[in-house]
Amino acid sequence: MIELATTDKEKCILVGITTRNVSKEKLNESLDELELLADTAGAVVVEKITQDRERIEPATFIGKGKVDEIAARVAAEKIPLVIFDDDLTAVQVRNLERAFQCKVLDRSALILDIFASRARTSEAKCQVELAQLEYLLPRLTRQWTHLSKQFGGIGTKGPGETQIETDRRLVRTRISHLRERLERIAQQRSVQRKERSKHIRAALVGYTNAGKSTLLNHLSGSDVFVENRLFATLDPTTRIVPLSSSISILMTDTVGFIRKLPPHLVASFKSTLEEVTEADLLLHIVDISSPYFEDQIHVVLETLEDLKAHDKAIITVFNKVDKLLDRSIISSLQERFPNSVFISATRGINILGLKEMILKVLNQEFMEETITIPHSNQRLIAQIYNFAEVLERDFKEDAIEFRVRFAKKDKNIFDQLLHQASSS
């Protein structure tokens, strides 16, 4: 147990367990992160309680002795909230709330609460509400314990089941409406991405609070909302970023990743995360000052693999280098991550080096070619605009000469277009 200072905020206790698959060190890292999540949600942690177990207790997640210990602490200090580091079943939540006589949340519920408080746009609010309802649906039974058969008596069992089924039906209907609405938003985003497809697009990805929004502000001169809290930004923001006097790219800030990210959130934020899968280049922002940055890199790479975006060109941007106490690790990280750069987005350190790295990778991944198309072949001209970034146009008497930039992996497609142009 670790005693922590208290404030006027809502007090809470954090609970986690070690098992065969979870070491003490990993649990401490996870609980430190859970503390940050609790702070973001507006709570202050007064104690972290851990337990070593061979297996999870089906009824209460933790053992009976630990339940009694926490219940006594909650009653003595009138603590209104206990947060578990892992997902709980509906039965476990119900049993724990009875034992503690206070609110019980798991990690997913806490993250969903933070997302709900941070959602600003209509799309983000829809995405969060959908995730919350999908999380709530299998747990609806605990909302109606006052009508359950445990109280006995004639007429209690039937109405209890009827009310629960009615509520489930309402939730499923709302989920269906939200999915339809998000599908329409996804189609609109697809149109927007198609309009931007002629430009080189980069996406900022990384662990939450790694400094993505701060970096986008510095590179583009914009004013994306920034706060030193987890999940300060939920909505993707796209800005034009000049790399040199002649080259600019579109850069998108995306929602931050985190370990144990609820699957409902990943599914709900599908249209937002498609900004990652559609990008030509990924900038993986890493908070090098975090003691857990190695683990955070692993989480982000795993998430990119889940999104089928792990094979894209990636620049690893180690941010907050000004806060790094041991700089001897930089050389080893440069060897492990060839396309890496070390910066401070807040202080503007080595931003020029980052731009040079982006240009270097673009030269490795993209190529420029010239194609001449007759005025009469409007279909092929349209294909060129959809396929590549048009850098220059030279209007001749009976044709247009285009200088274009495209990904090297698409060279076969360009050769086909070139063949069509020469035969038309």
Q: What is the pTM of this model?
A: 0.74
Greater confidence (383 vs 193) lies with 383
Residue 359 pLDDT level (bands cut at 50, 70, 90): very high
Q: What is the pLDDT of residue 146?
A: 42
Q: Are strands 10-18 and 81-84 parallel, antiparallel or unpaired?
A: parallel
Question: How many Cα neighbours within 13 Å face the side chain of 367?
Answer: 10
- pLDDT, mean of residues 204-230: 80
Q: What is the pLDDT of residue 360?
A: 92
Is 355 among the domain residues? no
Cβ contact 395:205 at 8 Å: no
Distance in angstroms (rounded) separating the CA atoms of residues 272 and 277: 10
| 181/208 same-domain check | no
| 172/110 same-domain check | no
Q: Cβ of 345: how many Cβ atoms within 10 Å? A: 26
Q: What is the pLDDT of residue 96?
A: 95
Residue 235 pLDDT level (bands cut at 50, 70, 90): low
Residue 410 pLDDT level (bands cut at 50, 70, 90): confident
Q: What is the pLDDT of residue 144?
A: 41
Domain count, the chain: 4
Q: Is the pLDDT of residue 7 over 70?
A: no
| 72/130 same-domain check | no
What DSSP line would sit under 28-77, residue for residue?
HHHHHHHHHHHHHHTEEEEEEEEEE-SS-BTTTBS-HHHHHHHHHHHHHH
Is 309 among the domain residues? yes
From 299, 320, 349, give the residue that closes a domain.
349
From 98, 114, 130, give the residue that closes a domain.
114
Q: What is the pLDDT of residue 145?
A: 45
Q: What is the pLDDT of residue 224?
A: 61
Q: Cβ of 316: how many Cβ atoms within 10 Å? A: 23
Residue 4 pLDDT level (bands cut at 50, 70, 90): very low
- The least confident of 172-186, 226-240, 367-381 is 226-240
From 80, 114, 148, give the residue that closes a domain.
114
| 387/415 same-domain check | yes
Is 304 among the domain residues? yes
Strands across the sheet containing 389-395: 366-374, 399-407, 389-395
What CATH number has the domain bearing residue 205?
3.40.50.300
Q: Supply the range of the domain harboring residue 382.
A: 366-423
Q: Is the pLDDT of residue 157 over 60?
A: no
What CATH number has the domain bearing residue 384?
3.30.70
Residue 351 pLDDT level (bands cut at 50, 70, 90): very high
